Amino acid sequence: MKQSILAIDDELHMLKLLERIISEKTDYPITTINNSLEVPDFLKENKVDLIITDLKMPGMDGLDILKYIKENDRSEEVVIMTAFGSLDTALDALSQGVFDYITKPFKKEQIIMTVDRAMRWQKVKVESERMSAIFDTEPYSAAIEAFKKEYVNRLKVRYSSESEMISKSGLTGEDLKYED
């Protein structure tokens, strides 16, 4: 599934700039919310990979949003945008599990690099969870089956045409029956 972003700031100017830069420089779809109180409802209906939020906002502030994510055991990573004067709070947020913080004003490249890092980290996390699940499988035969299934599904993603996949993988037609 395509990775996506939610940006939250009570200031529309900032949201517009973020939306513009991220749409221009990346392929990730971005949703923007300027009333932080709407965030829980949005997250009940949607799942995103990265939340970029302002620190100081009326309603829920950046730390409240972080808390909501952690308490609900959600997988979204959170990046907090903060003014220079709020650096202490930002550092505090790091200890509470925020992925990163970024001090306003910031360069376009800075946010793009942070987004890129967060998205790669999310991919690694998902990958690691799937691999752990395979290793935790018992008995051994079931683990082998799970591994084969994972392997085949990945090949399908990697190669667009089936014939190419078969010729390169050395698998038999029987192996290819795995579907998600």
As a residue count, the chain comes to: 180
Q: Tell me whether residue 97 or residue 105 sits nearer to another protein (CB atom).
A: 105
Closer CB to another protein, 84 or 140, in the complex: 84
Question: Crossing angle for the helix pair 140-158 and 108-136, nearest 10 degrees?
Answer: 150
Please, what is the minimum distance in Å from the beta carbon of residue 107 to another protein? 6
Within residues 73-92, the interface with another protein by CB under 8 A covers 83
104 binds another protein (CB under 8 A): yes
42 makes contact with another protein (CB under 8 A): no
* Residue from the set 88, 107, 161, 173 that interacts with another protein by CB under 8 A: 107
For 163, other C-beta atoms within 10 Å of its C-beta total: 8
90 with 62: CB under 8 angstroms? Answer: no
Instruction: Please tell me whether residue 133 binds another protein under the rule CB under 8 A.
Output: no
CB-based contact 80:53 (threshold 8 Å)? yes
User: 3-class DSSP state for residue 74?
Assistant: coil
Site for another protein contains 35 (CB under 8 A): yes
Instruction: Tell the smallest beta-carbon distance from residue 61 to another protein (Å).
Output: 14
